[in-house]
C-alpha cells in the first residue's frame, strides 16, 4: 500500500509520521520499496513507538537508505524495540556515501 501511494508521480508528500500505528517488521518491506523510488519525495519519516525490531531497521538501512535514489534526510525511530544488534547496519549505512540521512 505505501509503495503504491508514495511512488505516484503526483504525490507531493515529503513528511510522513506513522508514530504509534502498531507497525511491525511486516510493514517495512513496502516502505523499503517506496523510499528509493525516483518518484518518492519523502525526506522525513517518523516510525516512533512501533515494533519494527532490528530486522526492520536493518532492512530500512541496507535496502533503502543506502540507495543513491533515496532522498530521506530525517528518520525517527524512538521506542522501536531496537537493540545493540542494529548498530552494525546503522554504522554501515551512515558510512555509505549514498546515504542522505542528516538527522536520526
Mean pLDDT of 73-89: 84
CA distance 57 to 65: 10
Each residue of 19-73: pLDDT tens digit?
A: 999 999 899 999 999 999 999 999 999 999 998 888 888 899 888 998 999 999 9
Helix (H) or strand (E) holding 42: none
The pLDDT of residue 79 is 85
Categorize the per-residue pLDDT at 1 as very low, low, confident or very high, splitting at 50, 70 and 90: low
The pLDDT of residue 92 is 87
The residue assigned the cell 516510525 is 47
Domains, the chain, with CATH or none? 2-95 (3.80.10.10)
User: Would you call 44 exposed, middle or buried from its count of C-beta atoms within 10 A (0-12, 13-18, 19+)?
Assistant: middle
Amino acid at each position: 500500500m505505501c509503495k503504491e501511494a508514495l511512488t505516484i508521480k503526483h504525490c507531493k508528500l515529503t513528511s510522513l509520521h506513522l508514530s504509534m500505528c502498531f507497525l511491525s517488521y511486516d510493514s517495512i518491506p513496502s516502505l523499503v520499496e517506496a523510499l528509493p523510488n525516483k518518484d518518492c519525495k519523502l525526506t522525513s519519516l517518523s516510525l516512533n513507538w512501533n515494533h519494527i525490531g532490528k530486522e526492520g531497521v536493518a532492512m530500512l538501512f541496507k535496502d533503502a537508505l543506502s540507495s543513491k535514489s533515496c532522498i530521506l534526510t530525517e528518520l525517527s525511530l524512538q521506542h522501536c524495540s531496537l537493540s545493540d544488534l542494529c548498530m552494525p547496519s546503522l554504522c554501515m549505512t551512515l558510512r555509505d556515501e549514498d546515504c542522505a540521512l542528516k538527522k536520526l
